[in-house]
Structure 1
Amino acid sequence: MRKPWPRAIAIAVALAATGPLGYVYSQPASQQQVLAFDLPAASLAETLNAIASQSGQVVSLEPVLVKGKLAPAVRGSMTATQAMQRALEGSGLELRVTESGNYSVQPKADSTGAMELGATTVNAAGLSATSEGSGSYAARAISIGKGDRTLKEIPQSVTVITRKQLDDQGITDLREAVNRTTGLVGAQGIGPGMVISSRGFQIDDWQYDGVPVPRNFYVLGNWATQDLVFFDRVEILRGAAALLQGAGSPGGAVNLVRKRGQYAPTLAITGKAGTWDHYGLQLDAGGPLNPEGTLRGRVVVDEDRSHSFTDYVWDETRSFYAALDYDFTPDTTVGFGVSNTDGESRPMMRGLPRYPDGSDIGFSRSTYSGATWNHLDTDQTTVYLDLEHRFDDNWRFKSSLLRMQEHSDSIHQRMHGDVAADGSGLNFADWITNFQSTKIGMDNYLTGRFNALSLEHEVTLGGNYSKYTSDDFYARRFVPGGNIFAIDHHRPKPSVADILASPGGRAYNAGYDVRQKGLYGSWRVKLAEPLTLVMGSRVSWYDYEYNVTGGTPSRTTATGEVTPYLGLIYDLSEQWAVYASYTDVFEPQTERSADQKILEPIVGTNYEVGLKGELLDGRLNTSLAVFRYNQKNRATQDLDSGFECDGWYCSRASGQVRSQGIEAEISGELLTDLQVFAGYTYNTTKFLEDPDNKGSIYSQWTPKHMLRVWTDYRLPGNLRRFSVGGGFNTQSHTVSFARDFEVPGFTVWNARLGYELSSEVDLALNANNLFDKRYYQPGFAAGDGANNFGDPRNLMLTVKYTPEF
């Protein structure tokens, strides 16, 4: 077992202990200057601190008054008084001037003289527990579309999984997050990673603070993983996303927004203990590092250790993150961050087999098909750098850079083959792998608002670039004589030399070089008071090369591919809007035709119409969408060409598929102290034209029906220290990778009990798979393996300490 990180923890504690924001004495309101504010929607405490820091005003308040409260965006030229009044809109609080000319925040008085706090009563127990300051499942704004916008302003389906929701559900990694949100599936990969699927199509480029980089190019299987300890929220756009990230984006986009240093000191120490000897400790600290609050920092240190419901399996992960943001001027901010995740484990890499007809063998969920020498080491280091400049109230520029290095090194045993009635017929598959990759992403854009021809306009112009290079190695051999009912976990550990000396043993070196660049632009114009037109387009250049030992290099290039975007938004009222959108997508191919030319890219069109609502002063978001995506030019085998393409059939660009369905979602505070998230998806995927699969299901791991529900309620009155949560994930069946058998659907219930021990200490007990449902995860299910069980019933106790400064 690994040693703790005393030095890193000491650094984090030192940062957390940095003195609170040092406000200077305030000016009288009559002498205040008009300042330019550009503050996004955030927690009320954070926004008030930012206004005070920028203006030099003193604001006094009781922390309990703003705990769990959100502030709208504060943008424009105004005095500090006007800015704070705008931040307090809808909060049930008001700004008062003290005798000394400073400010205080107090509850508003109703007509009877009683003090109110919006829809929430303040008592000794305080408000709902918060994280990153919002305390809500409803997002006020989303940044995935370049610049901050409300969800209602985007004419596509969007979801934000807030930090509050992540913490309440105990979600710590991206696969778990997407499997608890609307319309997405995080399928178990061949390897330790996953494939994110939206509306039946993979999302292989993941965004980090809006910068897309490829995450699923591996010579062998799917190894991409991502924990969420560094991130404030997960933003998801469903439907074609070519305008944002270019080639191969028919399903949507996922954006991970990292944590930043806040304007007020913050410190959270979280410990957890759960089933299967699962233990974890995290320190998250940050805040202003100088009296003016122009330099802000953040440090996260996290260690997690666990065994598993599967015999022999264990995992240890430690993560470190540090970030700085510095306001060079009131209009220019530079952000820098670095993160590292280092993991070591004994995994089961490929799951369990079935009988040749696809029927379930009936294994215990503890069954392990690997060896005691199975071992995996992973390491991911990411550097983030961004600069934002605000020219004035209407125009701003942002430049972002990301560099990620990943390394994974494994040795492991799998079992393959057709299982006989007595369990025989299998081979032991011994693998040694070493994968190394570097991803670089850059994104730059300018956005601004102006009036012309008596119309309100907003334009965005930008460009981005990504590069993925890898150096991958694997060696493998197959050894007969395996029996699934008598698995030998103690076979001799192989070396590369052993593998190469075995009959049929092979080793490969391979590498990718994938580069993409693009220029994009969008124009948003308010044609009339209720009607907004959004037009956009992207021009993309794409270069792909894959080389493997002894094989012919695979290359493809796309030059000047244009993908248009069109959307209309009609405001029915201040709360409701209807929309319609159209988007194109392209996806380069590597297959060749009989005349030895690379096939034209796959092209697709996405249509969507929907209804969105922002209700209860933005505390509740709702949406309903109907969508259809058609794709054509897919490679199919040209059986008339003979074996003219490297000894095998060539291809034709004749395949067509379709994905269509309905989505509905609600998130936020439905009733006082009741946070809810619910998302339903009906989605069918189908081959329209294909020589082998016409009429059959296209996406193997997309169920026709998905419903994800979670609620959390803080009890009233004398029981207010308690909160209770619960929900379920249910979905219909999926199919195997070869589409030759069904993987049954399932319903899994989860629950949470929270208790506020004090204003600084929170306890929570999460129970997952409450009724111990036995089920297989959607993924690369096959008769000869890759069938992975979902987690049995398990408990997690969490203790969180958040001192008040």
Structure 2
Amino acid sequence: MYNTSSMSTATGLNLSARETPQSVSVLTKQRMLDQDLKNVTSAVDNITGISVRQSDSDRFSFTSRGMRIKNILRDGVATYYDTRFNYGDNLLDTILFDRIEVVRGAAGLMVGPGQPSAVINLIRKRPTRDFRGEVMMAVGSWDKWRTGLDLSGPLNAAGTVRGRFITAYQRNNAFIDREQHERYPFYGIVEIDLTANTLLTIGADYQFNHTRQGMFGGLPIFFSDGSKTDYKRHTSYAPDWAFSKVRSFSMFTSLQHQFANNWSMKGTFTYDNNTLDQKVLWATGYPNPNNNQGMYPGSMTLIDGSRRQTSFDLQLNGDYGLFSRTHHASFGINYQKQHFQNDYYSALCMLKKTCKSLGDFRQSNWNYPQPSWSKSRTYGSKGYIEQTAGYAVTQLSLMDPVTLILGGRLTSWKTRGDDFNQPKNGSYSDQFVPYGGLIYDIAPDISIYGSYTQIFDPESRVDRNGQLLKPVSGENFELGIKGIAMDNSVDYSLALFEIRQNNFTQLDSNAPPRPDGSRVYYAIDGVKTRGFEVEVSGQLTDDWKIYAGYTQFRGTDRDGKRINREIPNRLFKLFTTYTLPGAMSNLTIGGGVNWQGSTWQLLDGPVKKQVKVEQASFAVVNLMGRYQFTPALSLTVNLNNLFDKTYYTQFGDYKQYYYGAPRNIEATLNYQF
């Protein structure tokens, strides 16, 4: 299936997509298998309204409705997502997850501080009551090979103890010269029925990601004479000593009890520990158009980073009667604290300003010698972010066709730290965020809705003086229509939205990067974003599945000028599969397209100021085919970027660009038992 029956990411109430008064999407396990989406980044890139920006080999950022996504959840537990440091949030292997839920717009009721962009909720796989297993093997372009194992079932004769174990191993080169990747995830979970009404869950997952000779940053846009560069897609200036090692560990436990009066309580504790080790070279400058000379190290650093997070959530859900009608409610409290420390050790030649130029990095035998490193910490960032909150929400059945959802969240938020020798402190107490939504069933299978919530988002970004920007505040409005068709097999929706914000952050495009390579920003008031989204997902017939979504929006400042022009404001995503009839029923064919509108920025070049750099609109077409040898054994082949389209995943940051992947192919053999 390409849709799901219910989700709770938006409100904490277990509602269908039609009952939720916001734009929601789900990426199911089946679609991840059909499209060969094996990590979170590739999966999210195929969800309506979300744009993925890849800055280099390992750093990604996600945006929705023109704003960055700052929260990635796992089973509803949020992790603040700082894109300056890749702690593996976007590299997680999708073999661990049953589905990915997305709520677009403001989601402060359940998540707390955040932008009115979207939240991404990764739903882990759970143990099954019957024994089942799955093994897979895959090979693909750039010497890619992969194996995976998924085992699930009862651990005792009564079936009151159930477990699941998942692991995979993947190794591949890249389309970029010399770059190599390796990752292996592990996941284990046990469910124990302490009584008929009490469930104890204990689990943990771990993933190791290793990149060798990966780029840190992109290729320069300008030659020294002001003309535009046009490097081949495989070009890299990563030296042979560059690497990145990311270790992600998460441990969780929950206790859930079902009371006799149709109420339930669930307590969840989660501990996350992520580490980051890197040696990187970031290049800057304008190369000579004749010999490609003229690039120098902008930074060469050894990075030792860590992030630890502890979360606790207690939730009470149930039904109650009022005025002869049944209503639903959810109450909760949660606490979250994240400690982080990122230590940078510079190359000695950077401190002495004696580093040599890169030379012509296009040459096949190019390398840059590894420098001597400072033995003491040169600079870095450390501190913590702490949040305490309580929330309440109710779904009121006003009359048979009308449902009202009311809720609110009271949050206290604090951060303390030092960010590259600048204090980074902020504290906000008793910040209340209201939430309201009204759903009217105009027919048994069609509803119209409206929703409203406020925005409170403390900023982690700084201006060119290193000062922390003020929190973003504002309002989020949404109107829409949702429906179901084909005997509940297809969901469809249309949403209109408007977002109003003050203290909205804008990229300071021409300011130099900070010591860690991150950008600086400034704040503006009176920002307004208006747009619409359309989505259809599900099973049109027994043999035909489809997912399609289109998003269009325009964000403007108080003078009506477009903001965030580097983010695409038109996105179309389509994927469909069809199982052939009759004697060919073992064969499934499919394909899709991801299209985005044009983007542009004004950058200061080496010769002229305010040069317009632009990426035209483009489409990437993908195909798939699957042959089902037996009910248990199948072979799936995915051909990505069918027409070998050249495009950029990032164009403009640091006056550089980064290419998207060329045409590639992968074959996956899957056996279920």
The residue that corresponds to 2:215 in the other structure is 348
Distance in structure 2 (CA, Å) of the matches to 1:706 and 1:293: 47
The SS at the match of 1:688 is coil
Report deviation, 1:191. 6.4
Report deviation, 1:636. 9.1
Mind listing any 5+ residue stretches in structure 1 that lack a counterpart?
1-135, 501-505, 638-650
Larger Rg belongs to: 1
Report deviation, 1:509. 3.2
The residue that corresponds to 1:179 in the other structure is 45
Q: Does 1:243 align with 2:109?
A: yes
The residue that corresponds to 1:74 in the other structure is none
The residue that corresponds to 1:669 in the other structure is 539
| 1:407 corresponds to which of 275, 292, 296 | 275
| 1:704 corresponds to which of 556, 565, 569 | 569
The residue that corresponds to 2:666 in the other structure is 796
Report deviation, 1:401. 1.9
Q: 1:482 to 1:154 in 2, by over 3 A?
A: same
Q: Does 1:508 align with 2:375?
A: no
The SS at the match of 1:671 is coil
How far does the alpha carbon of each residue in 1:366-420 deviate from its partner, in whole angstroms, 9 at most, with x for none?
1111111111111111112112211136211122222111111111223211233
- 1:158-173 equivalences in 2 (<5 Å): 158-173=24-39
Q: 2:273·2:307 contact (CA, 8 Å) conserved in 1?
A: yes
Q: Does 1:386 align with 2:262?
A: no
Q: How much is the aligned-residue C-alpha RMSD, in angstroms?
A: 2.7
The residue that corresponds to 1:530 in the other structure is 401
- 1:724-763 equivalences in 2 (<5 Å): 724-736=589-601, 740-763=612-635
How far does the alpha carbon of each residue in 1:280-324 deviate from its partner, in whole angstroms, 9 at most, with x for none?
000000111122221110000100000111110011111111100
Q: 1:568·1:579 contact (CA, 8 Å) conserved in 2?
A: yes
Q: 1:485 to 1:668 in 2, by over 3 A?
A: same
Q: 1:737 to 1:567 in 2, by over 3 A?
A: farther
How far does the alpha carbon of each residue in 1:496-516 deviate from its partner, in whole angstroms, 9 at most, with x for none?
239x8xxxxx82132131111
Report deviation, 1:576. 1.0
The SS at the match of 1:153 is coil
Of 412-421 and 321-330, the range deviating more from structure 2: 412-421
| 2:585 corresponds to which of 715, 720, 725 | 720
The SS at the match of 2:648 is coil
Distance in structure 1 (CA, Å) of the matches to 2:654 and 2:399: 58
- 1:1-20 equivalences in 2 (<5 Å): none
The residue that corresponds to 2:518 in the other structure is none
Report deviation, 1:672. 2.7
Q: Does 1:521 align with 2:392?
A: yes
Distance in structure 1 (CA, Å) of the matches to 2:468 and 2:37: 43
How far does the alpha carbon of each residue in 1:546-583 deviate from its partner, in whole angstroms, 9 at most, with x for none?
2146x242211111011111100001222111100001
Q: 1:194·1:223 contact (CA, 8 Å) conserved in 2?
A: no
Q: 1:213·1:466 contact (CA, 8 Å) conserved in 2?
A: no
Distance in structure 2 (CA, Å) of the matches to 1:219 and 1:175: 15
Query: What code does the residue aligned with 2:231 have?
Result: F
| 2:416 corresponds to which of 545, 560, 568 | 545
The residue that corresponds to 1:6 in the other structure is none
Of 736-745 and 358-367, the range deviating more from structure 2: 736-745
- 1:260-339 equivalences in 2 (<5 Å): 260-339=126-205
Q: 1:418·1:784 contact (CA, 8 Å) conserved in 2?
A: no
- Tell me the TM-score normalized by structure 2: 0.90
Q: 2:492·2:537 contact (CA, 8 Å) conserved in 1?
A: yes
Q: 1:598 to 1:164 in 2, by over 3 A?
A: closer
Query: What code does the residue aligned with 2:42 have?
Result: E
Report deviation, 1:344. 1.6
Query: What code does the residue aligned with 1:494 have?
Result: P
Q: Does 1:377 align with 2:242?
A: no
Distance in structure 2 (CA, Å) of the matches to 1:360 and 1:676: 40
The SS at the match of 1:164 is helix
Mind listing any 5+ residue stretches in structure 2 that lack a counterpart?
508-520, 604-609
Distance in structure 2 (CA, Å) of the matches to 1:708 and 1:590: 31
Report deviation, 1:258. 0.3
The residue that corresponds to 2:607 in the other structure is none
| 2:644 corresponds to which of 772, 795, 803 | 772
| 2:234 corresponds to which of 366, 369, 383 | 366
- 1:65-84 equivalences in 2 (<5 Å): none
Q: 1:582·1:608 contact (CA, 8 Å) conserved in 2?
A: yes
Query: What code does the residue aligned with 1:198 have?
Result: S
Aligned positions, number: 640
Of 540-549 and 323-332, the range deviating more from structure 2: 540-549
Q: 2:113·2:457 contact (CA, 8 Å) conserved in 1?
A: yes
Query: What code does the residue aligned with 2:390 have?
Result: L
| 1:425 corresponds to which of 287, 294, 309 | 294
Flag the structure with higher strand content: 2
Report deviation, 1:746. 1.5
How far does the alpha carbon of each residue in 1:162-206 deviate from its partner, in whole angstroms, 9 at most, with x for none?
000001100011111111110001211466131121111122121
Distance in structure 2 (CA, Å) of the matches to 1:408 and 1:348: 16
Distance in structure 1 (CA, Å) of the matches to 2:653 and 2:119: 28
The SS at the match of 2:357 is strand
Report deviation, 1:654. 5.4
Q: 1:599 to 1:491 in 2, by over 3 A?
A: closer
Report deviation, 1:483. 4.0
Q: 2:222·2:228 contact (CA, 8 Å) conserved in 1?
A: yes
Distance in structure 1 (CA, Å) of the matches to 2:667 and 2:441: 45
Of 397-406 and 182-191, the range deviating more from structure 2: 182-191
- Tell me the TM-score normalized by structure 1: 0.76
- 1:476-515 equivalences in 2 (<5 Å): 476=346, 477=350, 479-484=355-360, 486=362, 489-497=366-374, 507-515=378-386
Query: What code does the residue aligned with 1:465 have?
Result: Y
Distance in structure 1 (CA, Å) of the matches to 2:666 and 2:60: 24
Distance in structure 2 (CA, Å) of the matches to 1:653 and 1:728: 36
Query: What code does the residue aligned with 2:205 have?
Result: S
The residue that corresponds to 2:551 in the other structure is 681
Of 657-666 and 224-233, the range deviating more from structure 2: 224-233
The residue that corresponds to 1:563 in the other structure is 433
Distance in structure 1 (CA, Å) of the matches to 2:33 and 2:506: 45
The SS at the match of 2:2 is coil
How far does the alpha carbon of each residue in 1:24-79 deviate from its partner, in whole angstroms, 9 at most, with x for none?
xxxxxxxxxxxxxxxxxxxxxxxxxxxxxxxxxxxxxxxxxxxxxxxxxxxxxxxx
How far does the alpha carbon of each residue in 1:734-774 deviate from its partner, in whole angstroms, 9 at most, with x for none?
23496952223210110111001112101111100111111
Q: 1:272 to 1:359 in 2, by over 3 A?
A: farther
The residue that corresponds to 1:91 in the other structure is none
The residue that corresponds to 2:491 in the other structure is 621
Query: What code does the residue aligned with 2:590 have?
Result: G
The residue that corresponds to 2:99 in the other structure is 233
Distance in structure 2 (CA, Å) of the matches to 1:404 and 1:358: 47
Distance in structure 2 (CA, Å) of the matches to 1:774 and 1:591: 32
Report deviation, 1:486. 4.5
Distance in structure 1 (CA, Å) of the matches to 2:304 and 2:476: 39
